[in-house]
Copies of this chain bind each other. A is one copy, B any other.
């Protein structure tokens, strides 16, 4: 006779968790769109679209706050066991990652205004677009892996970040070369570098989410050497010829 109330409690918890999952999926969808819109605004120098991205960031902030409140209420009323608590803590972590992705998109939006009247190197813009496509794919896949509780998909995302890092490193070198060749583009190139860095960090946040997904599905930490290396921190050039600091690549 104890089964019914226990089941009732479990079902109530599951319903709460399902609602939290729905909220994460909604927030994740918006975060993904924010990144795509911010970069589209950058490529087309569309200040109106950039302003929309900046405005919409408050929605992500509200969504994170609502998720946190709902998560706290779920713990307080359902008093879940440790294994279920990990799910809730993962929800809190993931919403935090999504909120930061939103901040990165907003920051790109702000730079669009500054870059509006500048000629950007077309090849570098294509590089940023390529990075963005990869990052938004990672983000989409990691959110799917969360909804489907698919740890192998999460591992794939975790490994996929490497390609974005490689693209970022190549773009970093390319933009530095352009700046040395033509100091007139320095301001726009620096803003574009920061935009690219933001996209690279979106990839990092996707891998952080992948780690959370892996943990809740498998009950253990994702092992192996983390693939993410932003190699640009060790890029040094000699005069005008790009070279790499040998100790740190």
Contact for A191 among B85, B86, B110, B233, CB less than 8 A: B233
Contact for A235 among B71, B107, B187, CB less than 8 A: B187
| This protein's copies in its complex | 2
Contact A186 B191, beta carbon cutoff 8 Å:
no
What is the distance, in angstroms, from A71's C-beta to the closest C-beta of chain B? 8
Contact B79 A79, beta carbon cutoff 8 Å:
yes
Contact A194 B197, beta carbon cutoff 8 Å:
yes
Contact B197 A186, beta carbon cutoff 8 Å:
no
DSSP class of A's interface residues: helix, strand, loop or mixed? helix
- Render A183-213 as a binary contact track against B, CB cut-off 8 A, 1 for contact: 1101100110110010000000000000000
Contact B111 A86, beta carbon cutoff 8 Å:
no
Q: Given A76-B85, A92-B92, A186-B186, 16 more contacts at CB 8 Å?
A: A72-B85, A73-B82, A75-B75, A76-B80, A89-B92, A92-B93, A110-B233, A110-B248, A113-B245, A113-B248, A114-B235, A114-B236, A179-B179, A184-B239, A190-B193, A194-B197
Contact A183 B179, beta carbon cutoff 8 Å:
yes
Contact A72 B86, beta carbon cutoff 8 Å:
yes
Contact A234 B110, beta carbon cutoff 8 Å:
yes
Across the interface, name the chain B residue whose C-beta is closest to A108: B233
The CA of A187 and the CA of B174, in the complex, are separated in Å by: 12
Contact B186 A176, beta carbon cutoff 8 Å:
yes
Residues of chain B contacted by A68 (CB below 8 angstroms): 89
The CA of A194 and the CA of B234, in the complex, are separated in Å by: 12
